[in-house]
Amino acid sequence: MTQRKSLNDWLSYMESMHPTEIDLGLDRIKQVSDKLQLEPLADQVITVAGTNGKGTSCAFLEAYSQGIDKKVGLYTSPHLIRFNERVRVNGQEVSDQQLLSAFEVIELARGDTSLTYFEFTTLAAMWLFKQAMLDVVILEVGLGGRLDAVNIIDPDLALVTSISVDHEAWLGHDIEAIGREKAGIFRAHKPAVFGAEGKPQSVGDYASDIGAQFYQAGRDYQLIASDSHWQWQACGDDCSNGQSFEGLIHPSFPVQNVATCIMGLSQLGWLLTAERINWAIEHAFIRGRMEPFNHQGVEGWLDVAHNPESAKHLARQLKKKTAPGQNNVAVFGAMSDKDIDGVIDELKDVISHWLCIDLPIDRAISSAELKEMLQSKGMSAEQFATFESAFNTIKSATDFSEQETTADNLVVLGSFFTVAEAIMYFDKQ
C-alpha cells in the first residue's frame, strides 16, 4: 500500500487486480461489506437502475435533497474526466485524499478476496458515505441491477427509469430477461417505481412475487405536458383524485425521469411542492446531457447519447433548439458493441453532416467503419483520427462536401468517451 501514493496509482492497481473487468455477482463484495459493517448506509437509500435516465434522475434527486436541506451522498458511473466525479457529498466531489483513505480501508478489509475495479470503488464510496453520517444516499446501478455491486445495500426506494435491450452479453437477449435483472433492486414491502408506461411482464411479476409496493407510469401517476409547462398527477381510479403539482418547468433532460422521481419521493414521505420541484429541476446538472458550449466561436451541445432511446431524446431536443434554416453537424465516436444503426436512424433527420472520429479505447468502432455505415444510409460523412482534427475542420470550413452544409451548431455525441475527448480538448485550450 505504501507504494500507491496517488489516485492514479490506486486506480491502475484496481484495474489489474481481478482477472476480468466485469464479474457480476454479490458474494465477494458482500463479504467485504459485512466486514466493514456498511449498513445502515444512511437514514434512507435510493437505488436507481434503467437503460437510460439513471444519471439525470440521480441529479434531480440530489438537487431535491439539497433543496430541503438533507445531507446527501451520490454515487454514479462512469465519470467523464476525473474519477472523483463518481462520489459526491452534499453536491461536492470528494477529494483525492478522501478517496486514498477509503481505498486503504477497502484494501485492508478485503484480505484475499479479489474485487473488480467497480466493486472496489463502490465499497470505497459506501465507506465514505458511512463516515459522513448522511440523511440520504443515492446509488446509481452500474450494470443491470440484480447482480450489480450497489445491490448489496437494501434501498428504501428503488427506481427503474426505463428498459431497452442493452448489455446483452451480461443481462440477456430479450426485454423480459433484462427487465428481470433490473427489477432485482426491488425489495419486499418497499416502494418500487417503474418509469415507463409499457413494461416487461417480468418487472411486475417480480415486484408481485416479493411483495414490493409497485408503482408504474401511466397507471399510478402521469404527466400532462404543454409547450410551456407540465403537470404531475398521482392517479386514483381515473387520475382525478390524486396529488397534483402544476406549473412545472421543462427540464433539459426527459421529463419522465422527474415524474418517476416525484412518485418515488412521495412514497418516502418527503415534503413535495411545485416550487421545490422547479428549484430542483433548475439546479439538477449533469455533464454531457445537452450541455451547451461555445469554444473559439463554435457553438453547440455535448451529449452522451449512445443508444437509440437516448438518441431519440437528443433528436427531440435538437428540433426544439435549432433555429429555422440552421444545420447541425455532429462529431461522432462510438463503442462497437452499441446499436449504432439505431442511433443513426434516430438522428438522421436532425444532423446534416457527420465527422466520425477514432477513440482511444479498444472497444471503439473505427472512424472508417462509422463513415461507411453513414454513407451506406445516404448521409454525408468524413473521418478523422482525433476530436481535435475534427474540431479544427469545423473552425475552418464554411461548408461540407457537395451538400454545402454549413456548421451552424456542433453536436458532440456517441459515448462518454467522445464527450470526454471534447471536454479535455476545450480545457486544454
* % the chain with pLDDT above 90: 72
For residue 155, is the peptide bond before it cis, meaning its omega torsion is within 30 degrees of 0?
no
CA nearest to 140, candidates 34, 25, 59, 29: 59
pLDDT tens-digit map of 35-82: 999 999 999 999 999 988 999 999 999 999 999 999 999 999 989 999
Contacts of 398 (CB under 8 A, 6+ apart): 406
Going edge to edge, which strands form the sheet with 298-302?
291-295, 298-302, 409-413, 328-332, 353-357, 381-384
CA distances from 116 to 21, 140, 208, 228 (A): 6, 17, 33, 46
Residue with cell 484475499: 112
Write down the mean pLDDT value for the chain: 90
Q: Which residue did the predictor score with more confidence, 227 or 85?
A: 85
Go through the domains of the chain in sequence order and give each one's CATH number: 7-283 (3.40.1190.10), 291-428 (3.90.190.20)
Sign of the CA dihedral running 157, 162, 164, 167: negative
User: 21 pLDDT exceeds 90?
Assistant: no
Q: Which residue did the predictor score with more confidence, 337 or 347?
A: 347
**DSSP collapsed to 3 states, 259-291:** HHHHHHHHHCCCCCCHHHHHHHHHHCCCCCCCE
pLDDT tens-digit map of 338-377: 889 999 999 999 999 999 999 998 889 999 999 999 999 9
- For residue 248, the model assigns a pLDDT of 97
Bridge partners, 223 (sequence order): 232
pLDDT tens-digit map of 406-421: 568 899 999 999 999 9
Q: What number of other Cβ atoms are within 10 A of residue 219's Cβ?
A: 14
User: 3 pLDDT exceeds 70?
Assistant: no
Residue with cell 444532423: 351
